[in-house]
Structure 1
Amino acid sequence: MAGSSATGLATLLPGAAEAAQKGVLTGFDLARRQGFPMLRHGPFGLIANPTSVDATGVHIADILHETAGVPLAAMFGPEHGFRGSAQAGKSEARSRDARTGLPVFDIYAKSGDALTAIFRAAGIGCVVFDIQDVGVRFYTYISTLFDSLVACARLGYEMIVLDRPNPITGLDCAGPVMQPGYESFIGRAAIPIRHGMTVGELARLFNAAFVPALAGRPARLRVVGMQGWSRDMWYDRTGLIWVPPSPNMPSLETAIVYPGTCLFEGTTLSVGRGTTMPFAYLGGPEVDGAAWVAALRRRALPGCVFRETYFTPGFSRHAGETIMGLELIVTDRQAFAPIPTALTMLSDALRLAGKPFWSDGGRTFDLLAGDGDTRAMLERGVAPERIVAGWQPALDRFRARRSGYLLYS
């Protein structure tokens, strides 16, 4: 669906005639095909990371730097850094890029005056965003997108978003919609955990619904849309190469379970960081892995199975310890519901675990969930199905709200 957008927005959506022949073309692909006309009006900065590549795997910063008349002047690195060398919760310090010679600014978790000052110091008048997201509210690249829109609105800069697919499809919205008071860098706006939107669509929503309250006006936003992507398309149907968006997002399979199992980051259990199966390996000495698997098998949850496994996390919780836990295996991704599945896993783990079960008193879990009710109901033993049912009215309102910002059918 291509339609008009909020005030101050221009959207480039090319026709889809070539899609069937060529597969999905990203916003960058289309901008390149057009000769980058939107990037020839003055110095601009690029928010990017290792996923910001063309179909052959060449980084777009290198392409733009080598293109005559395209004045790329600076780069900005989100969480994990511009070249992707940092682990979760970290970034790369300000530097000069070895390949292009351009300055690279660290903007991880920067917002407000701090981010505005960085953009101003970069000597630019336009910010370009091109990063592969994974379709989940607490994956921080969309928080960087949000904060950058606010900074551009305050400065009067144009912001250009080169769109990329939502890898876990754009059909489903699931999980609690974030409630007031739970805003953080893992949740900037009132959207559900699984939002079912592309970064370009999210930019349209953020700019119209949230940015004016923070900046006094929307940003001058331009979204360069994709060609050939549809809402029911999983990433491995796009014809695009998969580049891990972060060190512990090695595959599409990880992205499929992540909307649910990342909630375990709010517990004392490991999510398997630094193993071959992050977010599919879960466990810790707090929970008997065999009993946990047995309980979940009795549930017969759709689209997945569980097995006992031993693993040794390389990072974060229980790093270096050998743990008996479980592996979550998706057998039917169409039937699998990551967030309700994880809620059931949490319910059984909480019942089996010693205390404490929540990290930092539950604050991290509440920020991930976007509310305080989900944890409270789990603690009271409320059935996961009832918790999920309670999310539906807010999800219905969000679906109605997001419909005006969608670009693809």
Structure 2
Amino acid sequence: MTGPTGLSRRGLLAAGGGALAAAAAGAGPAAADAPPGRANGRAPGHQVRTGFDRLAADGYALLDGARVGVVTNPTGITAEARHIVDVMHADERVDLVAVFGPEHGFRGTAQAGGSEGRYDDPATGLPVYDTYLKSGQPLADVFTASGVDTVVFDIQDVGARFYTYIWTLYDCMAAAALAGKRFVVLDRPNPVTGRAALGPVLDRAYATFVGREPIAQAHGMTVAELARLFAGEFLTRPVALETVAVTGWRRAGFFDTTGLPWVPPSPNMPTPDTALVYSGTCLFEGTNLSEGRGTTRPFELLGAEGVDGRWAEAVNALGLPGVRFREAYFAPTFSKFQGRTVGGVQLMVHDREVFDPVRTGIALLVTARRSWSGFAWRADQWIDKLTGSARVRTMIDAGADVDEVTGAWEADLAAFRAVREEYLLYR
């Protein structure tokens, strides 16, 4: 695997957000990557104000005179759980003319790998354009056809490289640059904290829509920070980027400390607990085991026909910090093993402060392969797209243990962490 090519350190192309970004409480010189386990000392229920809430409180001054289009989905809500499109459409201070939907769609009705297509929103009458799997000039043409001059992005991310909304952000930024549109990112907290970047860094030879550029598997950043990183390191054409930071959030804060309402960002991301494990257990999409889709605990339940309690015993014996594994049996209602009873494990995180989702995901892969003779990678080698190279797969196939696999990416990860540091907004 090559190193994190493309991390040019050429600096920011956009200062990002003007007074709204600079005035953010908690913004400023960011702390170095902290290992999992460092508490933040903030009481549960502490109120965080999102980028949109701050934009609205400022009277939408940042959008004054602009023809606005919004890239969003059901997570684009206010602290009072009103959707930002409905709020802006009803406010005469905003000239909102279009909505752009990502994977799963603007209203969130499509399953993984799907979107809602082009339609007029029944609630507002606004035209909704489909961005899913569009990039480059075709996406720039969508922005041009919509008549907008400012594209606003507001979607809740979950902190994993292969969660596609951050690549919708990337593609929309690149398309906005091509089309000559201003781009505004309204920030939201990373729900699993922004303490540390974890896991392998993508090799560009394996770039897909689940990873366009060399960032870590668990990036430990917010969408505004990622936008700054994308602009400063990866985009080939400058974009007129502005960001609106959140206030009241610090890097060690989990979602339940924010006081914000949780809306599932996608159909199989029902709770913040799902997001906590997702950056590790989503790797099972690349195997013949179920990753828990079609259950009430996706990505927390893993299994296949023929798996028994030996898997739970094997992974529990590793003594992974912050998590235990229960022998589990379930019957998915859709996806792999639909309607069939499978055996496997349920992850039970008991100390999220020390839990490492990526290391845990690797440990589960290593033990699954050793304890179940039916283990196989997906024939299309999807695991390589998820991990960012062939290295994890080939090392596990060669009999490497957890420490060997996770140690192999440390140099690339250290290089990414150093570059990431330049773009962080919060302490």
Is 1:9–1:220's contact at 8 Å kept on the other side of the alignment?
A: no
Contact 1:312 1:321 in 2 (8 A): yes
Whole-angstrom distance in 2 between the partners of 1:302 and 1:7: 40
What's 2:273 paired with? 253
Partner of residue 136, structure 2: 112
For residue 86 of structure 2, give the secondary structure of its aligned residue in structure 1. Answer: helix
Which secondary structure state, in structure 2, belongs to the residue aligned with residue 283 of structure 1? strand
Pair 22,321 (structure 1): closer, same or farther in 2 beyond 3 Å: closer
Identify the range of structure 1 (105-114 vs 371-380) with the bigger mean alpha-carbon deviation. 105-114
String of CA shifts for 1:239-260, please: whole Å, max 9, x gaps: 1111111111111111111010
Give the alignment of 1:5-20 within 5 angstroms. Answer: 6-11=12-17, 12-13=20-21, 14-16=23-25
Alignment partner of 1:240 out of 255, 260, 264: 260
The amino acid of 2:91's aligned partner reads: T
5 Å matches for 1:218-297? 218-285=238-305, 287-297=306-316
Conserved in 1, the CA contact under 8 Å of 2:369 and 2:375? no
Note the alpha carbon deviations across 1:77-115, whole angstroms, 9 max, x for none: 101100001111111021100111000011112111221
> C-alpha distance in 2, partners of 1:29/1:202?
20
Unpaired segments of 5 or more residues in structure 2?
1-10, 27-41
The residue number in structure 1 matching 2:117 is 93
Question: Is 1:348 the equivalent of 2:357?
Answer: no
Secondary structure of the residue aligned to 1:46 is strand
Distance in 2 of aligned mates of 1:15 and 1:202: 17
Q: Which residue of 2 aligns with 1:187?
A: 211
CA–CA distance in structure 2, aligned partners of residues 42 and 338 of structure 1: 42
Equivalent residue, structure 2, for 1:157: 181
2:235 to 190, 206, 211: 211
Alignment correspondent of 2:32: none
Normalised TM-score (structure 1): 0.94
User: Does the residue aligned with 2:325 lie in a helix, a strand or coil?
Assistant: strand
- Identity over aligned pairs, percent: 47
One-letter amino acid of the counterpart of residue 248, structure 1: N
TM-superposed CA distance for 1:350, in Å, is 1.1
Inter-partner Cα distance in structure 2 for 1:250 and 1:150: 30
Contact 2:307-2:342 at 8 Å conserved across structures: no
Give the whole-Å Cα distance in 2 for the aligned partners of 1:159 and 1:167: 23
Structure 1 residue 289 displacement after superposition: 2.6
User: What is the aligned partner in structure 1 of residue 145 from structure 2?
Assistant: 121
CA distance in 2, matches of 1:41, 1:22: 35
- Report the counterpart of residue 138 of structure 1 in structure 2: 162
Is 1:79 the counterpart of 2:93? The answer is no
Question: What letter is aligned with 1:10?
Answer: G
After TM superposition, the structure 1 stretch with the greater mean CA deviation from structure 2, 7-16 or 114-123, is 7-16
Task: For 1:7, give the aligned amino acid.
Answer: L
- Give the number of the structure with larger relative contact order, counting CA–CA contacts within 8 Å between residues 6 or more apart: 2
Aligned residues of 1:94 and 1:104 also touching (Cα < 8 A): yes
The answer as to 2:376 corresponding to 1:370 is no
Query: Which AA in structure 2 matches 1:219?
Result: V
Count of matched residue positions in the alignment of Structure 1 and Structure 2: 399
Note if contact 2:185-2:242 (Cα within 8 Å) is conserved in structure 1: yes
Q: CA RMSD in A?
A: 1.7
Equivalent of 1:337 in 326, 351, 356: 356
335, 339, 344: which one pairs with 1:325?
344
User: Counterpart of 2:409?
Assistant: 391
CA deviations over 1:151-172 (Å, ceiling 9, x no partner): 0111111000000000000011
Partner residue of 2:71 out of 47, 53, 56: 47
TM-superposed CA distance for 1:297, in Å, is 2.0
Task: Say yes or no: does 1:61 pair with 2:85.
Answer: yes
Provide, for residues 352-401 of structure 1, a one-character-per-residue CA deviation record: whole Å limited to 9, x for no partner: 3335611124x210000001111000000111111111211111111110
Q: Does structure 1 conserve the Cα–Cα contact (< 8 Å) formed by 2:25 and 2:248? A: yes
AA aligned to 1:389 is G
Deviation of 1:343 (Å) = 0.6
- Supply the distance in 2 between the matched residues of 1:349 and 1:39 (Cα, whole angstroms): 52
Q: Distance in 1 between matches of 2:399 and 2:46?
A: 51
CA distance in 2, matches of 1:141, 1:148: 10
Encode CA deviations 1:102-138: one digit per residue, 9 max, x unaligned: 0001111211122111111111111100000001100
Q: Which has the higher helix share?
A: 1
The residue aligned with 2:126 is 102
| 8 Å Cα contact 2:60/2:93 also seen in 1 | no
1:310 partnered with 2:329: yes
Shift in Å, 1:281: 0.5
Deviation at 1:15, TM superposition (A): 4.3
In the alignment, the residues of structure 1 paired with residue 64 and residue 46 of structure 2 have an alpha-carbon distance, to the nearest angstrom, of 27
Q: Tell me what 1:405 maps to.
A: 423
Q: State how far apart, in whole Å, the 2-side matches of 1:15 and 1:54 are.
A: 18
Tell me, yes or no, if the aligned pair for 1:272 and 1:312 is still in contact at 8 Å.
no
Structure 1: any 5+ residue segments left out of the alignment? Answer: none
